[in-house]
Structure 1
Amino acid sequence: MAVIGSAVHVTKSKLFIDRQTDGLTTDNIVKIEGIDLYFFVSKQEYVNEQNRKDTDVYDQQRRLKLFDRGPLFEVSFSPLYKNVLPVKNFSIWTFRSSQRVTNVDCSQLFEQNPKEIEKVHKMNVSESASVCLKSKDCENFITRGGYIMHPLSEEEADFSIAFSILVYKSPEQFEILLRAIYRPQNVYCVHVDNKTTGNDFKEFQCIIRCFPNVFLATDRKDVKWGKIGVLTAELSCMKDLLSFKKWKYFINLTGQEFPLRTNYELVQILKIYNGSNDGEGTVKRANKDRWEKASKPPHGIRPVKGSVHVTLNRKFVEYVIDSRVAKDFLQWVNKTDTPDETYFASLIHNPQLGIPGSFKGELETDFGVRKPFLSRFKNWHDAPNALPCHGKYVRSICIFGIEDLPLLARRPEFFANKFHFDYQRQALLCMNELIYNRTRDEYAQRLDFDTQYYKSLKHVKNIV
């Protein structure tokens, strides 16, 4: 079985393929000699960016197409990475546990090998043992799961991230997510839907009790799509998380999501963000009828449509919890439809409020060009920039399957939404293998993460 992340070999400044792959010809091989190359859609075409003199917007469009679709026979299956020669020896103790998926060659799925795809489609999925049974001995559970229980770098140790995770079912899927994002320097608030009871709730408790920096939200809400409970559940965790003093950024998740970035990469990106917030925002595509039954918004706030999924600096979170303006606006959105898609988006994109990290530039995220939204990759069926979904659609959003893996590996966002554990779970498990291997190789300093794309983002520069 091939190990994910070993597809290329680097000598000096040349990058080339060092193994045979089905369908790969000399026409598909790209050599890099000190220039930046960008791939377009599914073709292995490239341009010399040093000679391109087009506008900023056009360049940004081209950069985004780098991540759109199709397999790339590249290190770690993404052009965001390059292999480097290791510069240090390291203890392997941290990565003793193998994350390889049983009876599946994930590297072949990332390369869209038809035989492996067909094999996986025919596989039956067996039921797993109770999470409470597996976590009865916490020390053994942590060791066998391959949890990372020490900071992997000084830089990560000094940059704590706070997470909220909203869950209502599938404790086993939640455990896979937690394993991928867990670090001892971070802090995690888990909000279990108030409707979740019995064995499912007990299983969530069994996982959480094994970690000192993972806890249940003190105020559980009844969460229903389109209702205020989605938002108040987030606020419940935000309030709890503020009792922890060291974290610098907040990221909200659900149990059906999975990281596209390692913790090291998140830290690199958030340091580049330097206080800027990441959230979706549009006025042109807003469903303004959602706001019609409410009165005029308080404090001169212009309503903006966006996503509930955000990446926020600590001062922004403090403002949301403590500010009279934020509390008044919460009361206003409670009178509207789908308030969670208005609240954070509006606070981020009303710079006159003076909230730290708010965006003061052109906010439209229609095609991810003017202001890309990176907290989450969602493939909506009716979005202007929709991509092919090789899984299935549920309420217009793509539930990722195994044939979506090449696309997921190449996306620049932080997390992907969404996965269902009872549908082609190998997609989730192979993403876990990929993130684990990227983490290992970055720790060994044999994999380099290119942050240039994130440095170019307009919302990093145009903030309050």
Structure 2
Amino acid sequence: MGQLRATKPGLLVCVAVCICVFLYLRSSAPEAAEADLTHPAAVECGFYPDELCSALFEGKKAAPQIAKFCKNPPISHILGYVHKARNCSQISRGLRFITTPLSAEEGNFSLAYIITFHEEPAMFVQLLRAIYAPQNVYCIHVHEKAPRKYTRMVQTLANCFGNIFIPSQTQKAAYSNLARLQADINCMKDLVRSKLRWRYVINLCDQDFPIKTNREIIHYLRSKWKDKNITPRVAQTARPPPPPGPGLPESRTEGSIHVSPNEELERKPPHNVTIYFGSAYYLLTRKFVEFILTDSRAKDMLQWARDSHSPEQHYWVTLSRLKDAPGATQDAGWEGNVRAVKWRTEEGIVHDGCKGHYVQNTCVYGPGDLPWIIQSPSLFANKFEPASEPLVITCLERRHRLRVLAQAEVPIEPHWRFQPESHFNMKLHC
């Protein structure tokens, strides 16, 4: 983090004062203000010097004035920028997409992504440009209930980037029935027909963000898993958790996964398959995806789970433990470092508490959670809400891009970099 090092004891107060100066300068410098349009995440939030992010990563608190000043980038700006751009080159450069493989290793190891886009357009853009690489392929499922302008934005991006697409068969991505699972499968059907020969598929939502770079993800897959699926599970069980009794909650948590009671799963599963429960998130090999799209057991399991609650919590982990399934991981438990999540039930055991706020059982990260996030061995982290905690994703994105560019083995294009350390190339002094 040498590039993000704090240099003055009174830095955070200094930044709060200097932001006010920035506001004045921006109002009197139209050319510079227009340049800011190329970086949507910074338009309403102003500019966060690297020293501020470094201080937050080191566990120091941000000045209250800064947190109050920052606002989430307005939806209209994100959508408007994409739609009003004169051409695809302006979109690519303005949104700072990296459009060249950064190393031969990455160019020869393609990944596929399935992203569910629901309600965070600014966050979606930040997530997409963080994981985007021309050798990868991206299936974007826009939630049925999302405004149509979100779909139009994604379609505009798809028209500019040949490796981004909306699935040919859409699905309401609900979180309590087969729809979410079916949405992933719809994307997989299109992905296996892609001209890009991807090795693994990863599913994300618009409240996720990568902790590791594309190259680090590839290293992890090659060194730790070697063509094995990553489908974290809790404990083997032939049946779901029992229904709640009098006075008990309607669901319970086992380990790090939320498992809901499900009377439908009392029925004997097809082919005498042993049911496992685990995470809805995964990293699956291409061969395994081809297997679940054609194998009779996988098809029968899908029908069997049609009326069940949250079948994505048992479908992938169960099929990945069939002996003859490609990339099978029969003995794997809750491992794989897919997501860094602060669960309320693990407070004081796995983590020291949520520094942002809890939404049900999950922590929405605040600035105080940044040290814990960057120390996690996980590939991605969840959950982020830029509207309420904008500093978190802003600093993570800057750190991630610096790491990505530091690992590059090709010349760096100027527009790949985010804004310089100070506005208008001026040094800050207080």
Query: 2 CA distance for matches of 1:174 and 1:424?
Result: 15
Q: Bigger CA drift: 318-327 or 123-132?
A: 123-132
Aligned to 1:14: none
Aligned partner of 1:122 in structure 2 is 68
Q: 1:424 aligns with which of 389, 392, 404?
A: 389
What is the CA-CA distance between 1:127 and the residue it aligns to?
4.4
1:161 matched to which residue of 2? 111
Tell me by how many angstroms 1:107 deviates. Answer: 1.2
Distance in 1, matches of 2:350 and 2:241, equals 19
Any unmatched runs of 5+ in structure 1?
9-18, 24-95, 366-371, 446-464
Match of 1:133 in 2: 80
Aligned residue number for residue 258 of structure 1: 209
Counterpart in 2 of 1:449? none
The counterpart of 2:229, out of the listed 246, 269, 277, is: 277
* SS of alignment partner, residue 404 of structure 1: helix
Distance in 2 (CA, whole Å) between partners of 1:198 and 1:98 is 20
Deviation at 1:243, TM superposition (A): 0.6
1:397 to 362, 378, 397: 362
* Partner AA of 1:442 in structure 2: Q
Structure 1 residues 98, 265: closer, same or farther in 2, change over 3 A?
Answer: farther
Out of 96, 102, 114, the position equivalent to 1:146 is 96
| TM-score, structure 1 as length reference | 0.70
After superposition, where does 1:25-424 map in structure 2 within 5 Å?
102-104=47-49, 105-114=52-61, 116-125=62-71, 127-128=73-74, 129-135=76-82, 136-137=85-86, 138-245=88-195, 246-272=197-223, 273-283=225-235, 287=241, 289=243, 290-294=261-265, 295-348=267-320, 350-352=321-323, 354-361=324-331, 363-365=332-334, 372-383=335-346, 385-387=349-351, 388-424=353-389
Counterpart secondary structure, 2:284: strand
Separation (CA, whole Å) in 1 of partners of 2:268 and 2:90 = 56
Deviation of the 1:291 alpha carbon: 4.3
Q: Secondary structure at the match of 1:252?
A: strand
Deviations 1:179-221 (A, max 9, x none): 1000000000001112224323323333333211100111111
- Which of 391, 406, 410 lines up with 1:441 in the alignment? 406
Q: CA deviation at 1:351?
A: 3.4
Give the direction of change, closer, same or farther, for the CA distance of 1:97–1:228 in structure 2 (3 Å limit).
Answer: closer
Q: Which segment is superposed worse, 214-223 or 285-294? A: 285-294
Residues 279, 313 of structure 2: 8 Å contact kept: yes
Match of 2:377, as an amino acid? P
Give the 3 Å change call, closer, same or farther, for CA 287–280 of structure 1 in structure 2.
farther
- Indicate how the Cα distance of structure 1 residues 325 and 427 shifts in structure 2: closer, same or farther if over 3 A, else same: same
CA apart distance, 1:345: 1.4
Query: Is contact 1:333–1:342 with CA below 8 Å preserved after alignment?
Result: no
The question of whether the paired residues in 1 share the 8 Å contact of 2:236 and 2:276 is answered with no
**How far has the Cα of 1:299 moved from its partner?**
1.5
CA contact (8 A) 1:297 1:332 kept: yes
Q: Secondary structure at the match of 1:166?
A: strand
Amino acid of the residue matched to residue 402 of structure 1? Answer: P
Q: Whose helix proportion is higher, 1 or 2?
A: 2
Q: Counterparts of 2:122 and 2:39 in 1: how far apart (Å)? A: 18
Deviation, structure 1 residue 397: 0.5
* Letter in structure 1 aligned against 2:172: D
Give the aligned CA root-mean-square deviation in angstroms: 2.6
Change (3 A) 1:284 1:386: farther
Q: Secondary structure of 2:201's match? A: strand
For residues 288 and 99 of structure 2, the distance between their equivalents in structure 1, rounded to whole angstroms, comes to 29
Structure 1 CA distance, aligned partners of 2:216 and 2:110?
13
User: 286-295 vs 186-195, which deviates more?
Assistant: 286-295
Count of residues paired in the alignment: 350
Counterpart contact for 2:67–2:391, Cα < 8 Å:
no
Give the 3-state SS of the residue equivalent to 1:112 in structure 2. Answer: coil
Q: Which runs of 5+ in 2 are unaligned?
A: 11-37, 244-260, 411-430
Q: How far does residue 99 in structure 1 lie from its aligned partner after superposition?
A: 9.1
Quote the sequence identity (%): 30
Taking the aligned partners of 1:339 and 1:405, their CA distance within structure 2 comes to 32
Cα distance, 1:224 vs. partner? 1.6
**Matches of 2:310 and 2:270, distance apart in 1:** 18
Contact 1:190-1:216 within 8 A present in 2 as well:
yes
TM-fit CA distance, 1:161: 0.2
Contact 2:72 2:386 in 1 (8 A): no
Residue by residue over 1:120-172, the C-alpha shift from the partner in whole angstroms, topping out at 9 and shown as x without a partner, is 32224164353343122321121122211000111100000000001122222
Task: Give 2:68's aligned amino acid.
Answer: K
CA 1:5–1:299 in structure 2 vs 1: closer, same or farther (change >3 Å)? farther
Rounded Cα–Cα distance in structure 2 between residues aligned with 1:304 and 1:5 = 44
Q: Distance in 2 between matches of 1:417 and 1:287?
A: 25
The amino acid of 2:374's aligned partner reads A
Paired position in structure 2 for 1:83: none
Distance in 2 between residues matched to 1:403 and 1:358, nearest whole Å: 38
Greater shift in the superposed pair: 98-107 or 197-206: 98-107
How does the TM-score come out when normalised to structure 2?
Answer: 0.75
Cα deviation, residue 338, structure 1: 1.6
Question: For 1:255-314, what per-residue CA distance to the aligned partner results, in whole angstroms no more than 9, with x for missing partners?
Answer: 111001101111111222210111111226963553433420112211111111000111
1:342 positional shift = 1.0
| Compared CA separation, residues 117 and 281, structure 1 to 2 (3 A) | farther
Q: Secondary structure at the match of 1:393?
A: strand
